[in-house]
Amino acid sequence: MEFDATSEDGLELRDIPPPLGEFLRQIPSAVEVDNPDVAARFFPCPSQDPAEDSLRADWKALVEPGLYEVFLDARGVVESDVRRMIKDGGTFALTIPRRHTRAWIHALNQARIGLVTRHGIQIDESAAWPPNPIATEGDWLLLQIGFYERVLGWLVEMLED
Positive/negative CA dihedral, 158, 159, 160, 161: positive
* Helices first, then strands: H and E counts in the chain: 6, 4
**Tens of pLDDT, residues 133-148:** 888 888 899 999 999 9
pLDDT tens for 61-89 read 999 899 889 999 999 999 999 999 999 89
First CA to last CA distance, the chain: 21
Vertex 42: Cα angle to 111 and 46 (nearest 5): 165
The pTM score is 0.87
> How many domains, the chain?
1
Torsion of CA 143, 144, 146, 148, to 10 degrees: 160
What is the distance between the alpha carbons of residues 57 and 69, in angstroms, rounded to a whole number? 18
Domain range spanning residue 141? 2-160
Whether 12 contacts 93, CB under 8 Å:
yes
For residue 122, pLDDT beyond 90: no
Cis, bond preceding 130 (omega within 30 deg of 0): yes
